[in-house]
A and B are shown apart, each in its own frame.
Chain A
């Protein structure tokens, strides 16, 4: 295993500069006012074990060349898998043809917010061990051991264990003179234990809450960054308790939500709602738009004064963290919601200019050389209490009748980010400030501004956790992005809780 910190030499050995120069030169000759080239290689590994046996082991990689041009104020995009100067010239020509043939459909001239030139910039993510240098056998052995431990416990009939590993290397060059080379990795391990009750015709499961991360294999080697041994040891007991737990009485409850669950609620109700492209309708036919429209910037009461949400692409080990985006913009951190008021958006260079900002927030991203960059989510994080380091138990102690929710599971939100419904891994009844055993069949449902308006308190730094997902979907053709969300525990008053069994019965 090697210690990383530099771009993979075999990527640097590709004809990056000659291919980019050929494409940029051809685009310029054909009259493009802007052109950019990306050469990317993404390597993925998917490993799935079912009941301790390997069900899926798939290694894949994608390499390609993308050319994007602006011709007479119209975008044109083309890509090809071959990395030769000849293919680059042909791809640049195709991008120009696409722009020219679709020019009659364009009513809004494309213009980019200014950005300083970043020449020959290099950025490598903060990880120690490249997961692709670890032998498959070692990974299978670790996941088999997890399965074995879970299956050895009473009441666990089946297990599903999976590991996703990804490495993304991007070379970017544009007609203004910026060129960047960047490399990062991401990992998502997860283990699920399943109990089956045939007599009752039911089954139940419990999954690890360990988030995906932009760390390397060091995340899995030992208990430094996540208590794997502790969580795996406790899952069978948690599962057994959940199976026997009483079904929740629907109604209004005070909720204490653990960061392992709250990150997803932030993702859906704040992360997507503060994407500027959604707010002005660019995703309206697909992923949806947003209730948080630009006319409300600076005035919308998003939530209570305890709500401070930032966007960033700089958080260490964050899944959306990178030095420069796919518009060649240097990344940063900024406020989205401050003191409960909407104060900012996520933007790329086109949308920053349209919003009247001097610079882009650096949110352009394409998940593949064969997809066009679009505005994608930064790490959108709820900040902890700046003054008091309140523990989760202290938040719970302030609740007379409520539910403490741990771990994410089912999620759904409408196309303007108003109405959502979430479930979780574990739900604990809170009685007079203390936990009183698990409940089951809990789903919480709310409208975004009502929910965040009911935020009475956030936990302190000691409760803060960087959660996230590898599978955030957006755009047509569909693109997938990885994103992290940091948050503390939070106390929300009077939230509607449904019983999911009762919802199903008729």
Chain B
């Protein structure tokens, strides 16, 4: 299906490029079609079907001190707006002064489907989900096995988004990419006092593979573990981090792996005590053969093969629009292997062009599942996911945050009950160092970061001494 937008992508981009008087011009157009559905207390709360467009002109103007950049974004609904944006971005470039990240614009590469209209989704993509959800709402009013007899209330969110991006440049680029993104999250709570909570989530491209009934069964299984409750004090515990928790922690790790701050000595990836420019690339963190990678061709997690951005930063440059995206191993076989560099920074600082991740996979563990890790645990904690993770100290990359939706006590290889939530203080760099056992990699949503970074695959990880800094009364 197409969105029926009045102004076609080729007409819009060619008009912009023809109007450009700058020394270089990049046009980015993204049409987004999205449906979403939210529920709480076993009833729907909000929903929506939205059609949006973001249109950006990036103008490059050469000057005596180097190239300058101006970026203007709008809706791109008519040709007058497009021409106005082109002129405004050129004026912004002239007023901004030279850019530090200047580099020649990327050449060539034309996609055959460039003129194809935008992809669109419809509310009926949720048809099966809606049926299964209605069934889950009905059966949630039945009793939870093994519990004292509480009903279950369901909460959650599902969204499906198709983003069609066109990139056209004065240097001949004509690229198009359709990015599907779908997620579903299901959260169950005991209805009597809401003191027990469980969560499950899944990534999908098109919802044909979403089995809400299976997610509901997993939530119910976890709620049944909660029938027995124990209170535990703060302290260090042997802890099994399931893939969702590992996803959020690894995203915090990789998003701090920018090259420039490390070179400047103001990042956890600066070489301690080293000479100016020294980074921790090459430092072994663990003897486990762990590899943390991003790869546009990763199965089930595909992302655009070329770079698009409207704003430069430490990890990315607008000059690099259209650059082919390589696979990047941020950690390789347990060793720090790469930091993010735009092309200009790579040249200036002696690194390699390395764009930031669009998906993230941690691999190199055994074939063990989370349940297998539980089975090999004499006494420890099994988490469900983490929440409200914030950086406390950038020097060590110390993060704080909360456990959420079920912390379970393991004794003799079995889950024996639920314990209270905790606030933790931990650095993901240190967690990689201390990882005792790593299991099999599977598609997993980071509970906190999934709304803007959902393409992650992670293994369960055993930490022998996870720092639970204080008790949280939240449930």
- Contact of A140 with B95 in the complex, beta carbons under 8 Å: yes
Residue A163 at the chain B interface, CB threshold 8 Å = no
- Contact of A441 with B393 in the complex, beta carbons under 8 Å: yes
Q: Which of A53, A106, A419 touches B43 (beta carbons < 8 Å)?
A: A106
Q: Which of B46, B194, B313, B423 touches A414 (beta carbons < 8 Å)?
A: B423
For B54, list chain A residues within 8 Å (CB).
Answer: 60, 62
Q: Which of B134, B394, B451 touches A476 (beta carbons < 8 Å)?
A: B451
- Contact of A500 with B398 in the complex, beta carbons under 8 Å: yes
Q: Which of A50, A63, A477 touches B159 (beta carbons < 8 Å)?
A: A477
Cβ of A281 to closest chain B Cβ, rounded Å: 5
- Contact of A414 with B425 in the complex, beta carbons under 8 Å: no
With known contacts A64-B75, A136-B95, A98–B395 Cβ distance under 8 A: no
Identity of the chain B residue whose Cβ is nearest the Cβ of A498 in the assembled complex: B469
Report the stretch among A175-183, A230-238, A405-413, A482-490 that lies at the interface.
A405-413
Q: Which of B73, B264, B388, B394 touches A60 (beta carbons < 8 Å)?
A: B73
Contact with A along B93-125 (1 / 0, CB 8 A): 001111111000000000000000000000110
Residue A164 at the chain B interface, CB threshold 8 Å = no
How distant is the Cα of A280 from the Cα of B189 in the complex, in angstroms? 13
Report the stretch among B149-157, B223-231, B438-446 that lies at the interface.
B149-157
Q: Which of A61, A280, A281, A504 touches B73 (beta carbons < 8 Å)?
A: A61
Report the stretch among A19-27, A192-200, A307-315, A355-363 that lies at the interface.
A192-200
Identity of the chain B residue whose Cβ is nearest the Cβ of A50 in the assembled complex: B100
For A57, list chain B residues within 8 Å (CB).
Answer: 69-71, 92, 96
With known contacts A60-B72, A106-B43, A477-B36, A418–B153 Cβ distance under 8 A: no
- Contact of A445 with B47 in the complex, beta carbons under 8 Å: no
- Contact of A54 with B99 in the complex, beta carbons under 8 Å: yes
How distant is the Cα of A77 from the Cα of B389 in the complex, in angstroms? 32
Residue A9 at the chain B interface, CB threshold 8 Å = no
With known contacts A64-B75, A198-B265, A56–B311 Cβ distance under 8 A: yes
- Contact of B266 with A203 in the complex, beta carbons under 8 Å: yes
* Interface core residue of A54, A80, A107, A441 (most chain B CB under 10 Å): A54
- Contact of A77 with B473 in the complex, beta carbons under 8 Å: no
Residue A244 at the chain B interface, CB threshold 8 Å = no
How distant is the Cα of A367 from the Cα of B388 in the complex, in angstroms? 22
For B39, list chain A residues within 8 Å (CB).
Answer: 105
Q: Which of B37, B387, B400 touches A102 (beta carbons < 8 Å)?
A: B37
Contact with B along A385-421 (1 / 0, CB 8 A): 0000000000000000000000000111111111101
Identity of the chain B residue whose Cβ is nearest the Cβ of A195 in the assembled complex: B266
Residue B271 at the chain A interface, CB threshold 8 Å = yes
- Contact of B473 with A291 in the complex, beta carbons under 8 Å: yes
For A98, list chain B residues within 8 Å (CB).
Answer: 35, 47-49, 123
- Contact of B156 with A414 in the complex, beta carbons under 8 Å: no
- Contact of A53 with B98 in the complex, beta carbons under 8 Å: yes
- Contact of A374 with B434 in the complex, beta carbons under 8 Å: no
How distant is the Cα of A57 from the Cα of B50 in the complex, in angstroms? 28
- Contact of A412 with B423 in the complex, beta carbons under 8 Å: yes
Q: Which of B6, B44, B56, B388 touches A413 (beta carbons < 8 Å)?
A: B388
- Contact of A412 with B187 in the complex, beta carbons under 8 Å: no
Q: Which of A46, A61, A198, A475 touches B74 (beta carbons < 8 Å)?
A: A61
Contact with B along A469-506 (1 / 0, CB 8 A): 00000011110000000000000000010101101101
Identity of the chain A residue whose Cβ is nearest the Cβ of B236 in the assembled complex: A506
How distant is the Cα of A395 from the Cα of B104 in the complex, in angstroms? 59
Residue B177 at the chain A interface, CB threshold 8 Å = no
Cβ of B274 to closest chain A Cβ, rounded Å: 7
Report the stretch among A208-216, A282-290, A425-433 that lies at the interface.
A282-290
Cβ of B129 to closest chain A Cβ, rounded Å: 10
- Contact of A135 with B95 in the complex, beta carbons under 8 Å: yes
Cβ of B154 to closest chain A Cβ, rounded Å: 9
Residue A74 at the chain B interface, CB threshold 8 Å = yes
- Contact of B52 with A285 in the complex, beta carbons under 8 Å: no
A289-312 with Cβ < 8 A to chain B: 289, 291
B412-430 with Cβ < 8 A to chain A: 421, 423, 425-427, 430
* Interface core residue of B70, B274, B423 (most chain A CB under 10 Å): B423
How distant is the Cα of A199 from the Cα of B130 in the complex, in angstroms? 60
- Contact of B390 with A198 in the complex, beta carbons under 8 Å: no
Q: Which of B38, B77, B469 touches A445 (beta carbons < 8 Å)?
A: B469
Identity of the chain B residue whose Cβ is nearest the Cβ of A505 in the assembled complex: B396
For B34, list chain A residues within 8 Å (CB).
Answer: 477
Q: Which of A107, A282, A285, A445 touches B187 (beta carbons < 8 Å)?
A: A285
How distant is the Cα of A329 from the Cα of B71 in the complex, in angstroms? 37
Identity of the chain A residue whose Cβ is nearest the Cβ of B425 in the assembled complex: A503
Query: Chain B interface: which size bin?
Result: 35 or more
Residue A335 at the chain B interface, CB threshold 8 Å = no
How distant is the Cα of A288 from the Cα of B199 in the complex, in angstroms? 13
Contact with A along B59-74 (1 / 0, CB 8 A): 0000000000111111
Residue A81 at the chain B interface, CB threshold 8 Å = yes
How distant is the Cα of A322 from the Cα of B74 in the complex, in angstroms? 25
Q: Which of A74, A106, A412, A447 touches B400 (beta carbons < 8 Å)?
A: A412
For A416, list chain B residues within 8 Å (CB).
Answer: 473-475
How distant is the Cα of A208 from the Cα of B198 in the complex, in angstroms? 41
Cβ of B81 to closest chain A Cβ, rounded Å: 9
For A154, list chain B residues within 8 Å (CB).
Answer: none
For B40, list chain A residues within 8 Å (CB).
Answer: 281-285
Residue B312 at the chain A interface, CB threshold 8 Å = yes
Contact with B along A84-119 (1 / 0, CB 8 A): 000000000011011101101111100000000000
Cβ of A34 to closest chain B Cβ, rounded Å: 15
A268-288 with Cβ < 8 A to chain B: 280-286, 288
For B314, list chain A residues within 8 Å (CB).
Answer: 50
For A105, list chain B residues within 8 Å (CB).
Answer: 37, 39, 43-44, 130, 133-134, 137
With known contacts A203-B266, A476-B157, A371–B72 Cβ distance under 8 A: no
Identity of the chain B residue whose Cβ is nearest the Cβ of A473 in the assembled complex: B451
With known contacts A59-B92, A201-B270, A286–B157 Cβ distance under 8 A: yes
- Contact of A410 with B425 in the complex, beta carbons under 8 Å: no
Contact with B along A49-77 (1 / 0, CB 8 A): 01001111111111110000000001111
How distant is the Cα of A39 from the Cα of B292 in the complex, in angstroms? 44
Q: Which of B47, B73, B404 touches A58 (beta carbons < 8 Å)?
A: B73
- Contact of B396 with A504 in the complex, beta carbons under 8 Å: yes
B184-235 with Cβ < 8 A to chain A: 185, 187, 189, 194, 197, 199
Cβ of B352 to closest chain A Cβ, rounded Å: 21
Identity of the chain A residue whose Cβ is nearest the Cβ of B403 in the assembled complex: A414
How distant is the Cα of A372 from the Cα of B274 in the complex, in angstroms? 52
* Interface core residue of A79, A414, A496 (most chain B CB under 10 Å): A414
* Interface core residue of B46, B70, B123 (most chain A CB under 10 Å): B46
Q: Which of B6, B310, B467 touches A82 (beta carbons < 8 Å)?
A: B6
Residue contacts A-B, CB under 8 angstroms, 28 given: A53-B97, A54-B96, A55-B99, A60-B72, A60-B74, A63-B77, A77-B49, A78-B49, A94-B49, A98-B47, A102-B123, A102-B130, A104-B130, A104-B134, A108-B41, A108-B43, A198-B275, A200-B272, A285-B40, A371-B50, A410-B390, A412-B402, A419-B423, A419-B470, A421-B423, A477-B159, A504-B393, A504-B426
Given A60-B72, A105-B44, A503-B425, 16 other A-B residues pairs in contact with their CB atoms under 8 A: A48-B313, A50-B100, A58-B73, A59-B88, A64-B52, A64-B75, A79-B49, A106-B43, A201-B270, A412-B388, A478-B451, A501-B393, A501-B396, A503-B392, A503-B469, A506-B465
8 smallest A-B Cβ distances: which pairs?
A201-B272, A285-B155, A60-B73, A416-B474, A107-B43, A285-B187, A419-B472, A105-B44
